[in-house]
Amino acid sequence: GAGVSQSPSNKVTEKGKDVELRCDPISGHTALYWYRQSLGQGLEFLIYFQGNSAPDKSGLPSDRFSAERTGGSVSTLTIQRTQQEDSAVYLCASSSEATGMNTEAFFGQGTRLTVV
Amino acid sequence: RKEVEQDPGPFNVPEGATVAFNCTYSNSASQSFFWYRQDCRKEPKLLMSVYSSGNEDGRFTAQLNRASQYISLLIRDSKLSDSATYLCVVNLAMRFGAGTRLTVKP
């Protein structure tokens, strides 16, 4: 499909385990964003990648969170030693450029992470 | 201070009402602005961009005030289908406000 694809759509993990969340952006999109959304809350910025520039990691809540983007395309968000407060929907978005008046970001449907 | 702030609501309005949301931002270097809509348990989707001169799309009007660093969204003649959470977005790395929940009642 032509949209942003995230996998898995749902993930239940035990506290203390590591998880990897995957995002396939729209082909050709140079900017990729990760957000976290807890139930009933807004989107919390985590990290963004723009082309070959160093990623903006300013939103990562702790050193248990990391993300990489290989080959400027697929991105993986890794959460180590998961905690119950990590339970949320993790949303990925991509856009054709990071700034610009008509830069629409397209979202994937998210990965719902539940830490038990 | 948060980078982007919105009144979380909820706003409960009758059909046909006019409702307005505001969103303030802290980074004066911000260059582009958007309103997104998010339905319950769905991903956000672009509603409209916000242009410096203000812009209108049917019943929706967006305004930007750079001097006071806020954007606004006006919805006229509210429909039941407008019930959703409205998120403002300020671009430098797409910072979202927390969203304003709107419920339009018959």
Of A35, A99, A108, the CB nearest to B32: A99
A104 at B interface, C-beta within 8 A: yes
Alpha-carbon Rg for chain A in angstroms? 14
Judge contact between B61 and B35, C-beta under 8 A.
no
DSSP assignment, residue A56? Answer: B
pLDDT at A65: 98
Specify the pLDDT at position A82. Answer: 98
Give dist(CA B77, CA B80) in Å, integer.
10
Residue B91 confidence class, pLDDT cut points 50, 70, 90 = confident
Question: How long is chain A?
Answer: 116
Q: Quick one: tokens of A11?
A: 């993930």
- For residues B72-97, average pLDDT: 90
Confidence of residue A40 (pLDDT cuts 50, 70, 90): confident
Rounded to the nearest integer, the mean pLDDT of chain B is 91
Q: In whole angstroms, what is the distance from residue A47 CA to residue A66 CA?
A: 9
Q: Which residues 52-91 in chain B show a CB within 8 A of chain A?
A: 87, 89, 91
Helix%, strand%, coil% for chain A, nearest 5: 5, 45, 50
A17 burial type by CB count under 10 A (0-12 exposed, 13-18 middle, 19+ buried): exposed
Q: Is the peptide bond before A8 cis (omega within 30 degrees of 0)?
A: yes
Q: Give the residue among A48, A52, A75 at the shortest CA–CA distance from A60.
A: A48
- Tokens at A116, concatenated: 């038990």
Question: Which of A45, A107, A109 is the closest to B93 by Cβ?
Answer: A45
Percent of chain B with pLDDT over 90: 69
